[in-house]
Structure 1
Amino acid sequence: MDNDISEFVGRMQQFIEEQNIRFVDVKYTDLFGRLYHVTLPVSRFGERLFSQGVGFDSSNIPGFLDVASGDMILVPDPETFFVDPFFDPPAVSCFATVMNARTHKVFDGYPREILSRAVEYLKKSGIADRALFLPEFEFYLFNDAVFRTTKRSSAYFFDSIEASWSDAEERNHGYAILDGKGYHIAPPADVHFKFRSKLVELIESADIPVRYHHHEVGEAAQEEIEILPLDALSAADAVILVKYFARMLAKDYGIFACFMPKPLYGAAGSGMHYHQILLKGDKPVFYDDSTGYPNLSRIATNYICGLLTHGRALAALTNPTTNSFKRLVEGYEAPTRLFFGFANRCAAVRIPRYANLPNEKRFEYRPPDATANPYLAIAGMIMAGIDGIERDILPTEENMFGPINGSVDALPEEKRAKIASLPRNLLEAADALVSDHSFLTAGEVFSEAVIEKIVEKEKKEHKELLLYPHPREMELYFDI
């Protein structure tokens, strides 16, 4: 390992000199997915940085340690270096491993470490050697975004020059997008296509391969970028970086990138569907052309049923905000019930019709959104899938997991009643996690302490939002 670090440092120092790099930016997230960083002059880059790290007070980072035991260090991960396009003077950037300053052991509550343990648990199970994930990025680009809350006032205002209701003077006259008609719309109605192309260039410069980009359904400049499958840890890193790149580039353009699941009433929500593939050696674990139903192996069906069995608890990881549940409602191609289907966009798990070759065989889990910490969300999905495989969970008439390829409303009432629903709000999700998390703590992947911190935060935020008077309430009830 020491020789590997020495070789890496030597290569990087040559690159740093050739490219006139002046800084090293070390990035990490808190337990809940918010990005943090610390920037070092390039003179600090050397082997000592990888052995001693950078000290910091973790008691200031949500979900980490308290004041009494808060000293930790950030050790750069040599596998994650890239040139950060937003630094001037130039900087290389990387993700860090968070370690205890005294023992130099990895902090077991660090989200990247939790995902690493989930991947190792998968390998030890013998089910697969690799888990690949393909996240879809949906987000809005607003020309204006203002919000404010005090004890005596609350308000927010978004505007988009693409929307038919825009108040902006520079709105897209003559080419406004009608409600729900934005999918794949072409320029000039698609105002921000150049922004997306530039964003894709930046994403690929960080070695994140992109499949495509396009305008999404939402009229107010809803965008989508889809990357190609990556190993689980790299996919989670990519989620953090794509959001970072989108927000930074939007700032340069004088606009705002919003990844909230439901920023606009009555408009399309933004999800983050995760396509999933397991490989054992070079063999795709989810493919079996002898099964009939879209070439899914029994293990794939087990994995899917694991996701559905634990879907309500998973929501605390994949949909961890009060805003998440404003998206998970009927009428907007968002899943509300826990079943799977072939090419069914109302299902929690969709098997794509177009991905039917052995090395492409996958399915997507559709409930998640971009407010999730991707390390925890992906780790949770892996653990739920493993549990489904180890318990050989299959669809039955009692659990009604599927396959359901048509509308759920077309089913008889007695069958519809058996289909489990996703939580209706954040409190239900937190309570589900309290009652169902042994699949996460298997193999000590998640600790009880991490589960408790997640539940505590979500219950607190649910209660806080209930107590705030809402502007719409003033319109409905002020004069009663």
Structure 2
Amino acid sequence: MNPSEVLKMCKDEGVVMVDFKFCDFLGTLQHFSVPVEELAEETFEEGLGFDGSSIRGWQAINESDMLVMPDPATAFIDPFCQHPTLSLLCNITDPITREKYSRDPRNVALKAEAYLRSTGIADTAYFGPEPEFFIFDSVRFSSEPKGAFYHLDSEEAPWNSGVDTGVNLGQQIKHKQGYFPATPADRLMDLRSEITTNMQTMGMEVDLHHHEVASPGQCEIGIKFGTAVTAGDLVHQYKYAVKNTCYQHGKTATFMPKPMFGDNGSGMHCH
């Protein structure tokens, strides 16, 4: 997709806001939005300014000006916004030198792809990440001078078999037996299906979804492989879709490697 096609997409879809997303140095997705009237073909060449000193690990306050450079090929209609919104993933550029910013993870991936081509070993490398995650019904934590704790809960967890909720229908998943159980034990099937359809709305290719080994809400959704940059973009979109869909349903998703003591952790195999 090129800039003119992005503008046509905005018109055809009745877009009113444009959201610019980028990855910070530590891998967290950041964003800001502008009215669609502010988006022009020149935006893709000139970029938009922001305060780089307010992003962790980036610029000093006396040289804070940075530019986001939207990549038109990444445009998608955001299914999580109340107002019709088009999202774009962006690279970061120095406004003075116009060079790609060395601490921008997406630019690092672009440089890695260019280096691979320069070696003559190959012109393309493909990566197939497989992120796993937990979906919890309740997450509480505190860290204060007087004490600290965390508490996680999932209606699927075996410790809820004896909880008096008025009517407890059982069907909790036994410890470490969460891999592939059918409904009604797998209470997250419909939620995963909704996450999948949201991913497809965003232009992602999904090949399957299923419950994972850990009983309290561990899941996996399989996505297609891509080049280094594309795979990185897909993982960001993946996490964005999972977290927002769960949040809309009053649940919390986490990609922490080991949130549950004594149960399976979440990995991200990469082929």
TM category (shorter chain) comes to over 0.9
The 2-side partners of 1:109 and 1:217 are apart by: 36
Q: Which residue of 2 aligns with 1:90?
A: 84
Q: Which residue of 1 aligns with 2:18?
A: 24
Kept in 2: contact 1:161–1:168 (CA 8 A): no
Distance 1:52 1:168, change over 3 A: farther
User: Residues 329-344 of structure 1 correspond to what in structure 2 (within 5 A)?
Assistant: none
> Is 2:255 the partner of 1:259?
yes
Q: Which of 86, 89, 93 is equivalent to 1:99?
A: 93
Secondary structure of the structure 2 residue equivalent to 1:31? coil
> Is 2:153 the partner of 1:174?
no
Q: Cα deviations across residues 36-89 of structure 1 (Å, max 9, x unaligned)? A: 001010001102212321111111111211112121011111111100101121
Q: Which residue of 2 aligns with 1:78?
A: 72
User: Residues 12-411 of structure 1 correspond to what in structure 2 (within 5 A)?
Assistant: 12-166=6-160, 169=165, 173-275=169-271
Deviation at 1:13, TM superposition (A): 2.4
**Higher strand residue share:** 2
Kept in 2: contact 1:55–1:72 (CA 8 A): yes
Q: Cα deviations across residues 325-383 of structure 1 (Å, max 9, x unaligned)? A: xxxxxxxxxxxxxxxxxxxxxxxxxxxxxxxxxxxxxxxxxxxxxxxxxxxxxxxxxxx
- How does the TM-score come out when normalised to structure 2? 0.95
Q: Aligned pairs, how many? A: 269
Percent identical: 35
- How does the TM-score come out when normalised to structure 1? 0.54
The 1-side partners of 2:166 and 2:71 are apart by: 45
Secondary structure of the structure 2 residue equivalent to 1:273? strand
Secondary structure of the structure 2 residue equivalent to 1:73? strand
Deviation at 1:220, TM superposition (A): 0.2
Greater relative CO (CA pairs within 8 A, separation 6+): 2
**Higher helix residue share:** 1
Kept in 2: contact 1:141–1:257 (CA 8 A): yes
Kept in 2: contact 1:136–1:273 (CA 8 A): yes
Q: Which runs of 5+ in 1 are unaligned?
A: 1-6, 276-480
Secondary structure of the structure 2 residue equivalent to 1:196? helix
Superposition RMSD in Å = 1.6
Deviation at 1:195, TM superposition (A): 0.6
Secondary structure of the structure 1 residue equivalent to 2:110? helix
The 1-side partners of 2:7 and 2:188 are apart by: 38
Kept in 2: contact 1:160–1:168 (CA 8 A): no
Deviation at 1:24, TM superposition (A): 0.6
The 2-side partners of 1:68 and 1:180 are apart by: 53
Kept in 2: contact 1:161–1:172 (CA 8 A): no
The 2-side partners of 1:208 and 1:160 are apart by: 28
Deviation at 1:171, TM superposition (A): 8.7
Q: Which amino acid aligns with 1:90?
A: P
The 2-side partners of 1:173 and 1:201 are apart by: 29
Distance 1:48 1:267, change over 3 A: same
Deviation at 1:9, TM superposition (A): 3.2
The 2-side partners of 1:170 and 1:248 are apart by: 30
Moved more, 84-93 or 150-159: 150-159
The 2-side partners of 1:168 and 1:138 are apart by: 31
The 1-side partners of 2:78 and 2:92 are apart by: 21
Q: Which amino acid aligns with 1:124?
A: S
State which structure, 1 or 2, has the greater radius of gyration over its C-alpha atoms. Answer: 1
